[in-house]
Structure formats: C-alpha cells, structure tokens
Structure 1
Amino acid sequence: METEEEEDFIELPNSLNGLIHIHPKLGAAEMEDRMAFVSLLEGLLHLDGDERISPRQALELPFISMSHLREDVHSRD
C-alpha cells in the first residue's frame, strides 16, 4: 500500500538561520522580527559560556525590547 504525500509539508530548517526563511513571502516587519528572534536564540544557546549572553543582556536585545518594530506603522503594541 502506498502512502499519500502531504502537499502542505514544510521542510524544516537545519539551522537557526533557516527559521527566518520558512515562509519568505511575509512582510519586512515579520522578517525583521524573525531575525531578531534568531539572534536572541543564538545568544542564549551559545555553547561557550563566556560568549553566551546573560539574562540582563537578553532583555536589551531587539526581540525582547521590540525596538526593531517601533518604527513600523503596521506593527501592533
């Protein structure tokens, strides 16, 4: 018996940066938000403890502070 393949299958990325491009047709603000999220994850998950960001540093990053969205007229609070 053959199985049907899902047409809506999304190929999962093999890196954190690949998360940015899962749905590339989204708006510029969404892409910028994704880049800020990936930057936060990279900092928090860095294997070298000396290079890993602290919780205090994480609070200052754009994804948490949402500073990258303040100038976008289409973003919501």
Structure 2
Amino acid sequence: MKTETVTEKSLRRNLYRVLRKTGVTKDNICLTASFYEDLNFDHIDWTIFIHYLERIFTIRINDEELSRFSSVNDTLLYLRGELVYSRS
C-alpha cells in the first residue's frame, strides 16, 4: 500500500512539474483547476503541456484523448489509467 501512495505522489508531482513548464504558478495548480477557465490555456500552452507530458511520462496522447482533458484532475485520471495499462 505504501508503494501506491508513493506512486500517486510521484504522479502528481510530475504532472504539476509539467504544468509549471507551461507557466502556471504554483498557487494556481489544483486538481479542480480548469485548463480554459482557471489556467487560461491557449494553443501554445497546450502544445507545451502535451510535449512535456508525453516526454516526462513516456506516453503518446492522441487528439481524441486530449479533447477529454478539461481539468487537471482529468489529466491525472488519464495518466493513472495509461500508466497502469502500459505496465500490465
């Protein structure tokens, strides 16, 4: 059980690190933050976000999956599923 907690903590830490690379301040990062309304993402922010997300987590995200990301939590849920699936 301790391993799951560390994995979850590491997952969040890396996701937040990716968000910081787009210019999001630490104070604005929370699970409920909306990419459009709260974080004011534009096309350039999305490009940077996806680049670092794929690079740091060693995954590929297609446009259909990307369209489901409306909040930070959506991305976290996607990453949990993607990383569990890829390790199975």
TM-score range, shorter chain: 0.3 to 0.5
Question: TM-score normalized by structure 1?
Answer: 0.34
Bigger share in helix: 2
> Larger C-alpha radius of gyration, 1 or 2?
1
Question: TM-score normalized by structure 2?
Answer: 0.31
Larger RCO (CA under 8 A, 6+ residues apart): 2
